[in-house]
Structure 1
Amino acid sequence: MDRYAVIGQPIAHSRSPAIHAQFARQTDQVLSYEAIEIAPDALPARLQALHAAGYRGLNVTLPHKVAVMALCETVSGRAQRAGAVNTLIRTDQGWHGDNTDGEGFIRDLQRLGFGVAGRRVLVLGAGGAVRGILEPLLAAAPAELVVSNRNPWKPEALAEAFKPLGTIVPRTHLSLKGDRYDLVVNATAAGHSGRMAALPGPLLARGGDCYDLSYGAAFAPFRAWSEAQGAARIADGLGMLVGQAAAAFEAWRGVVPDRLDAVIARLRE
């Protein structure tokens, strides 16, 4: 039986085993998938051991998504631009690293009907999560893509790094005052502390949508802000989690799980 796993620390909370079990049932695939806890200092040796044991692929979560890049035999272009790897694919020579976060994000926007083309898009935050979604956002041809942070340096660095792929407008949160956006994407970590980034007044255009990369309790502050903004539609990032897993499953098995709504509904239960 082909073996797969998700690696990280801690890992007991991971929903990946449940997600991939549902994908396997939907697509009539026979495989095993488990959660494996690996401490950062043990990562190099454990990756070698998992390869030697015949694992066909691995999902990678915190805190290993950056460190694992240096341990891959090859790395995809989109993973290099994202600065992180969340999917490992076995090759005879070693591990090939990829990043499916951006693909999962765009898949979920499409599933929800949150258009990007021709719209003004605001991304809040400028950390690693943002790097993973910028390439597909630019490819979706927004009228304007603004990346905002508390200080200007990180957005400016992102605008320069992604310049070959398109134009990103770097801003600070305070400088957004008076602007209106059709889609606001929250990629800050503030919600994990029960907070919402400090923003200057109304930012959402009439009929605008709001999307948070987080889900669960961390989604609550942004959801409250979005409701106060009068958002037409509000979504959390659970669909992105399932979408990036579907992209990894497709890379491993050559089969596309296409009933993502059913998987998301099951997780919410």
Structure 2
Amino acid sequence: MSDQYAVIGNPVEHSLSPAIHAEFGRATGEDIAYGRILAPLDGFRTAALRFRDEGGRGLNITLPFKPEAWRLADSHSAGALVAGAVNALKFEGGRIAGHNTDGIGLARDLKDNLGCTVRGGRVLLMGAGGASYGVMEPLLRELPQSVVVANRTVEKAKALIGHFAKLASDLRVGRFTWLPYDRLTNDSFDIVINATSASLKDGMPPLPREVFAPGALAYDMVYGRDTPFMTFAAGCGARAADGLGMLVEQAAESFFIWRGVRPATGPVIRLLRQKGKRIKAKGGP
């Protein structure tokens, strides 16, 4: 019988993770089966433990269960500890290990798939929720010149900066701060990342046109279609990209954690785009 894995969430029917992991399994020769689990909003723990008890080997976690996945884990990887979030669980030897692969997925997509150099660049990260916590550490380790966080709720932006301030200082990131959207008119950035949920509601943050430096990359973590943010950025002369590559790269890291084999991601990204997987925009696995 194939080793069992799944993505768990609510909703979960949108997820491309089963298709991605099926391709990884075929390409690597790993004998796995990967499905979807729709858990009740108050039933994550029960559903996850039932899957484990029935022989499941690992889970990817999508909205809204990442905080509960953190609490379910017996141990946490270094990346999960820094992020304060878990998006992958590994069941082994009666223990549950929590991991976070989101940030690695973003960093690899930017560098390897999009040819975007983060080192020495000016980065604007919009949003101060779980997605931003998940990607900040790998982003800082790419050694940008500066990282500015913009968020509608000032307290959340301050908390995010405070959480990673020591790491940014240790890595000698020149500027690490937050700004309200209406104070971004005097800044321009090489990489503008939308980690808010606005695109899921066909909206976008109140972003001034001036934020895009010549040749800037506008990156939306949502995947599935051109979002209002991507359309706006393209109209400002920026190169726009969605989060499909991040999704595939974080899935590859989960696959490596579970199987000890690192699958090639480029062919899977190209396959999904060629197949026209134009699904309703969703974020996460």
State the TM-score, normalized to the length of structure 1. Answer: 0.94
Task: Give the corresponding residue for 2:219.
Answer: 211
Task: Give the corresponding residue for 2:121.
Answer: 119
User: C-alpha displacement at 1:138, in angstroms?
Assistant: 0.5
Distance 2:266 2:249 in 1: 10
Task: Give the corresponding residue for 1:249.
Answer: 255
Distance 1:53 1:216 in 2: 33
Task: Give the corresponding residue for 2:70.
Answer: 69
Task: Give the corresponding residue for 1:91.
Answer: 92
What's the secondary structure of 2:26's corresponding residue?
A: helix
Q: How does 1:90-169 map to 2 (within 5 A)?
A: 90-110=91-111, 111-167=113-169, 168-169=176-177
Indicate the percent of aligned positions where both proteins have the same amino acid: 44
5+ residue gaps, structure 1, are none
Q: How does 1:30-41 map to 2 (within 5 A)?
A: 30-41=31-42
What's the secondary structure of 2:125's corresponding residue?
A: strand
Q: 1:230 and 2:231 equivalent? A: no
User: C-alpha displacement at 1:40, in angstroms?
Assistant: 3.0
Query: Do the aligned residues in 1 keep the contact of 2:218 with 2:240 (CA within 8 Å)?
Result: yes
Distance 1:82 1:109 in 2: 19
- Deviation string, structure 1 residues 96-152 (Cα, Å, up to 9, x no partner): 111100011111011211110001111111111111110011100000011111232
1:190 partner letter: A
* More moved, 37-46 vs 158-167: 37-46
Query: Do the aligned residues in 2 keep the contact of 1:73 with 1:93 (CA within 8 Å)?
Result: no
User: C-alpha displacement at 1:170, in angstroms?
Assistant: 1.1
Query: Do the aligned residues in 2 keep the contact of 1:123 with 1:185 (CA within 8 Å)?
Result: yes
Where has structure 1 moved over 4 Å in runs of 4 or more? none
Q: Aligned pair count?
A: 266
Distance 2:207 2:250 in 1: 29
1:41 partner letter: D
Query: Do the aligned residues in 2 keep the contact of 1:159 with 1:169 (CA within 8 Å)?
Result: yes
5+ residue gaps, structure 2, are 170-175, 276-285
What's the secondary structure of 1:162's corresponding residue?
A: helix
Distance 1:177 1:147 in 2: 14
2:232 partner letter: W
1:247 partner letter: E
1:264 partner letter: I
Task: Give the corresponding residue for 1:265.
Answer: 270
Distance 2:234 2:12 in 1: 33
Task: Give the corresponding residue for 2:278.
Answer: none
What's the secondary structure of 1:141's corresponding residue?
A: coil
Task: Give the corresponding residue for 2:8.
Answer: 7
State the TM-score, normalized to the length of structure 2. Answer: 0.89
Query: Do the aligned residues in 2 keep the contact of 1:51 with 1:94 (CA within 8 Å)?
Result: no
What's the secondary structure of 2:210's corresponding residue?
A: coil
1:243 partner letter: E
